[in-house]
Structure formats: structure tokens, C-alpha cells
């Protein structure tokens, strides 16, 4: 009986040792691969940068383009993604930068500060500060640009739903979401009523979220309201992916 216990204990420690070594090896392998991608992306021409892009990369890009992100198509070279956030969301913007930088998608130059001046009338104006960075240009980002832009204007492609993952949703809410009353409102002002209705269908079909369209005061602009009955479900979906500075957007 004692011998059997010793064997079982030895087997358990051997199992734990293997798991630890696997985790270390997996981490080291990812580090080597990401470093290799970084070196590759810095020496090849933009039109020859073709990825690969994993699901997390695609999800963050899709979530950002649904929100504040911008895709810049650069003729035959390809497309680069531009990320910008106000100064109060500096930590979130730097988190995005770290994600792309570690995977070789942008340079080691940290996000730069910018200033915007909004004029209310001839006498009044206000300065807004924030941070921004761009990815490298990739020819393999062109299909994403095509899915979001038509004649230079954002729109919603009917195939977009399959790319709206939990991570994409968390980024979208981080960019354009806000806690309102007992629910979450997503500003979707760039999109038409039919496009907003399509996005609501996607949120229900992909995640079971119950939403409705809310019309704002500006003509032909709409927002998506995730109802209170779906908030518990929403939190379960996005919390594993949401940056800590954005918890307030889901009422936490």
C-alpha cells in the first residue's frame, strides 16, 4: 500500500514537472516566433508583409475598426491600422501597443502624444490630448480594409459577423461602449440603421445578447443598447479579455 502511494506521488510530481517544462517551452517558443516576426517585418517591403495573423490579432483589429480604429490603405503597398485614444485612456492604448509590438506588428517607438483643437464657434475652442500609434503596413490587411470601407467611408459588410469574437466585442466596447442606467450603450453613429440592426442580430446570434436600437438627437445616427437582462451574460463574455481600465464600461 505504501509502495503504491509512493509510486502515485512520484507520478504526480513527474506530471507536474512535465507541465512546468511545457509551459516554459511554450512561452519561449512564442517569444522566439514573435521576435522572428518582428525582425522579418522590419526588413521586408510592406507589399511583401503577409502575416501570419492569428485569431487574436484579427479580433482586436475588427473590434477596433468597429470602434475608434482606422484603416489606412496605402496604394499597392497594403493597409496599416491606426489606433488613437484620449489621454484618460492612455493605459488602454499602451496595452494595445504592447500587444502589437510584442508580435512584431509595429516599431519600438512608443505611442506619440497628439493634440486636437475643437472649435465651437469663432470665440470658443477646446484642446484635447491623447496618444496614438500605427502598425506596419501589410498587404494581407487589405481584405480587412475592404470589409470595413467603401469609397473611403466605414460600412458593415454582411460577412463581418463571423469575426466578432468575445475579444473583438471587448475591444469594441472599450472603444465605443458606455455604462448607462442598467445597460451598456455602444455608439454606432458611423453606421446606417440597417447596419446597426445587422450588428444587433450578430450580438444575439453569436452571444445571446438582447439589444435594441436607440436613436440619438442627430439625424440618421443610432446606438446599440445591450439590455439589463443581458448584462450578466455580457460580463461573462468580455471580462477575460477586457483591460482593467475599461471595467467601468460594463458597470464594474
pLDDT, tens digit, for every residue of 149-160?
Answer: 998 899 999 999
Q: So what's the pLDDT on residue 219?
A: 81
SS3 227: coil
Q: So what's the pLDDT on residue 200?
A: 98
Dihedral sign for Cα 60, 138, 95, 117, please.
negative
Q: Which of the pair, 81 or 21, is modelled with greater confidence?
A: 81
Q: So what's the pLDDT on residue 45?
A: 64
Q: So what's the pLDDT on residue 197?
A: 97
Query: Is cis: bond before 52, omega within 30 of 0?
Result: yes
pTM above threshold 0.85: no
- Residue ranges and CATH numbers for the domains of the chain are 164-252 (3.10.28.10)
Question: What's the mean per-residue pLDDT of the chain?
Answer: 85
Mean of the pLDDT values across residues 115-125?
77
Q: So what's the pLDDT on residue 25?
A: 44
Q: Which of the pair, 113 or 38, is modelled with greater confidence?
A: 113
The enclosing H or E element of 20 equals helix 2-43
User: DSSP strand E in the chain: where?
Assistant: 70-74, 78-86, 112-119, 125-134, 149-150, 153-154, 177-180, 183-187, 211-215, 222-226
SS3 45: coil
Mean of the pLDDT values across residues 103-123?
85
- Identify the band that residue 240 occupies on the pLDDT scale cut at 50, 70 and 90: very high
Mean of the pLDDT values across residues 76-90?
93
* Euclidean distance between CA atoms 108 and 121, whole angstroms: 40
Tell me whether strands 125-134 and 70-74 are parallel, antiparallel or unpaired.
Answer: unpaired
Q: So what's the pLDDT on residue 32?
A: 46
* Euclidean distance between CA atoms 166 and 173, whole angstroms: 11
Buried b (16+ CB within 10 A) or exposed e, 187-216: bbebbeeebbbbbbebbeebbebbbeebee
Amino acid at each position: 500500500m505504501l509502495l503504491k502511494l509512493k509510486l502515485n506521488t512520484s507520478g504526480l510530481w513527474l506530471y507536474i514537472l512535465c507541465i512546468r517544462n511545457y509551459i516554459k517551452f511554450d512561452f519561449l517558443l512564442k517569444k522566439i516566433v514573435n521576435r522572428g516576426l518582428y525582425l522579418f517585418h522590419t526588413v521586408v517591403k510592406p507589399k511583401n508583409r503577409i502575416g501570419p495573423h492569428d485569431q487574436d490579432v484579427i479580433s482586436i483589429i475588427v473590434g477596433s475598426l468597429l470602434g475608434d480604429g482606422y484603416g489606412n490603405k496605402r496604394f499597392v503597398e497594403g493597409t496599416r491600422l491606426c489606433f488613437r485614444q484620449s489621454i484618460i485612456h492612455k493605459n488602454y492604448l499602451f496595452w494595445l501597443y504592447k500587444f502589437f509590438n510584442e508580435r512584431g506588428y509595429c516599431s519600438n517607438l512608443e505611442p506619440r502624444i497628439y493634440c486636437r483643437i475643437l472649435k465651437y464657434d469663432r470665440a470658443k475652442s477646446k484642446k484635447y490630448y491623447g496618444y496614438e500609434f500605427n502598425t506596419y503596413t501589410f498587404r494581407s490587411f487589405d481584405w480587412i480594409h475592404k470589409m470595413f470601407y467603401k469609397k473611403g467611408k466605414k460600412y458593415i459588410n454582411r460577412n463581418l459577423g463571423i469575426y466578432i469574437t468575445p475579444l473583438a466585442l471587448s475591444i469594441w466596447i472599450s472603444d465605443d461602449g458606455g455604462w448607462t442606467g442598467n445597460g451598456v450603450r455602444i455608439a454606432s453613429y458611423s453606421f446606417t440603421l440597417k447596419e446597426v440592426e445587422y450588428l444587433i442580430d450578430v450580438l444575439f446570434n453569436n452571444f445571446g445578447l438582447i439589444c435594441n436600437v436607440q436613436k440619438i438627437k442627430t439625424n440618421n445616427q443610432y446606438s446599440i443598447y445591450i439590455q439589463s437582462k443581458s448584462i450578466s451574460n455580457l460580463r461573462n463574455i468580455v471580462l477575460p479579455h477586457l483591460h482593467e481600465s475599461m471595467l467601468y464600461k460594463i458597470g464594474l
